[in-house]
Chain A
């Protein structure tokens, strides 16, 4: 499989350098794969940080900036960053107000973030951690116990980041993150597998006329293989699974996300969004805002995920608050 790379082993390193070159408001901590806001630590503000394997761009470093993340630790492709680098990130972003780590539920990520939090605590930093587990398609998977953390994580970054920017203390920022996690659900599907730089070939085989439902973001197989369906049928499958888990009442408001997995054109994501909104309408649910785009990808995989977040006044205020990052900008 053809790839626009130099060396498989240099992918993360070279990507991070290129990212900083494009965004001088970001800075790379020496000798690490950690990017932080150039002005970190930001005085008087709780820091919100995240991280995980690479291959999900623009996640995680794409959300660095005002109103969202202060630090992002990049592991190798689909591999957790090491705890010592996460620890450096925590210490580099802490302004004395404490640090919230937003972790997606994968065993490697959770263990390394746990260990890093302990290391930073030993140095006197106040650290809280939330674990995102929004994927309704599996309870246990190849990489995790319990539900996986996927695209709904971006809503956590946005709301926790906005709360921190508004002067919330560590407890308040953590509470907002937990609230988002309690109210967001996601399900994904793939038309093709992704191709990792190391392996150079698809991580699972999918026939010309087949799709994979319930996929995660690491090229791990999904929960169900099906014959190819129309965009409307796929959207209905994903959305109904998400909605039945979220148990929305008629009249409730939501923010939706149609997230591309990296290899699907925006035109197709809009087709999915069109059906998603009509299904919500049928359920009597009101969409306050609809996000469409590549927010958390799986390298070059073709496919998408659908996320639905139940919102109240507090979350609407936080989602609408200004943010300025490479991947997401919300203006005043």
Chain B
């Protein structure tokens, strides 16, 4: 990306943006989770990222990868339940990929390692009606856009967010196979997965941050957006 200082600022801004977005969406996520879970996803995510954002001052002293690692640690201790290890543990583990800075290549490695860790830890695959349904299309699209289509990172990220959005819409008609929603069996069909949804919100906040740091224009796919857009 650039020098370590700019990278750190970008990571800190991304953290602020994610925290703000999840705070905005808290009650929406809670509503989704009360339909098929235990109604705590909105509050848990808001609390976890909120705590991390409060540490901005102490993070100012760290390298970008260390900031990411510490965000993960903060989520582990503050999100609770299974979401703590799934989001926080995976972010913490994947932060190793950013030791040499944030570039197109290391960001692909980060995304892939994060995805692998989430799948490994939670045991979910595509179609289990979990965050994996948003993550897999996003990560695959990002990797291909960077490595094969030679797109600039900003355009690749925009495509990844579109892909995640389609993935979120894909969770609605599925029967949950993992997590608490799976105990509802067929009653989970027809509901949008809260974990996939919060994953999308995180990616959208990362895209908004990237727009201020990277060159290029963002083109979103209107159809993908429509597919997951809730009734406002």
Which A residues lie at the B interface, using CB under 8 A? 79-80, 82-85, 107-108, 111-112, 114-115, 118-119, 142, 145
Contact = CB atoms under 8 A, between A and B. Distances in A.
Contacts of B88: 83, 115
B76 A82 contact: yes
Contact of A112 (B84, B92, B93): B84
A82 B86 contact: no
B223 interface: no
A145 B182 CA distance: 12
B76 A83 contact: yes
A90 to B, nearest CB: 14
A89 to B, nearest CB: 13
B123 A145 contact: yes
10 contacts: A83-B88, A83-B89, A84-B77, A107-B82, A108-B81, A111-B82, A115-B84, A118-B93, A119-B73, A119-B92
A118 B81 CA distance: 17
B89 A142 contact: no
A82 to B, nearest CB: 5
Interface residues of B, number: 17
A118 B69 CA distance: 12
A79 B84 CA distance: 13
B117 to A, nearest CB: 9
B183 interface: yes
B82 A114 contact: no
B122 interface: yes
Contacts of A107: 82
Contacts of A145: 123
B85 interface: yes
Contacts of B76: 82-84, 115, 119
Interface in B2-57: none
B85 A114 contact: yes
B80 interface: yes
A82 B121 contact: no
A82 B73 CA distance: 11
The 6 closest A-B pairs by CB, nearest first: A115-B89, A84-B77, A115-B85, A111-B85, A83-B76, A84-B76
Contacts of A114: 85, 89, 121
Contacts of A119: 73, 76, 92
A181 to B, nearest CB: 20
Given A83-B76, A83-B89, A118-B93, A142 B183 contact: yes
Question: At the interface, is chain A mostly helix, strand, loop or mixed?
Answer: helix
Given A111-B86, A114-B85, A82 B77 contact: yes
A111 B121 contact: yes
Contacts of B123: 145
B69 to A, nearest CB: 8
B84 A82 contact: yes
B199 to A, nearest CB: 17
Contacts of A111: 82, 85-86, 89, 121-122
Contacts of B84: 82-83, 112, 115
Interface string B59-85: 000000000000001001100111011
Contacts of B85: 83, 111-112, 114-115
A166 to B, nearest CB: 33
A270 B76 CA distance: 44
A52 B111 CA distance: 31
Nearest to A86: B76
Contacts of A142: 183
Contacts of B89: 83, 111, 114-115, 118
A125 to B, nearest CB: 15
A79 B183 CA distance: 18
A78 to B, nearest CB: 12
B82 A108 contact: yes
B192 to A, nearest CB: 22
Contacts of B92: 115, 118-119
A79 B81 CA distance: 8
A144 B153 CA distance: 40
A66 B73 CA distance: 32
B148 to A, nearest CB: 31
B179 to A, nearest CB: 9
A219 to B, nearest CB: 15
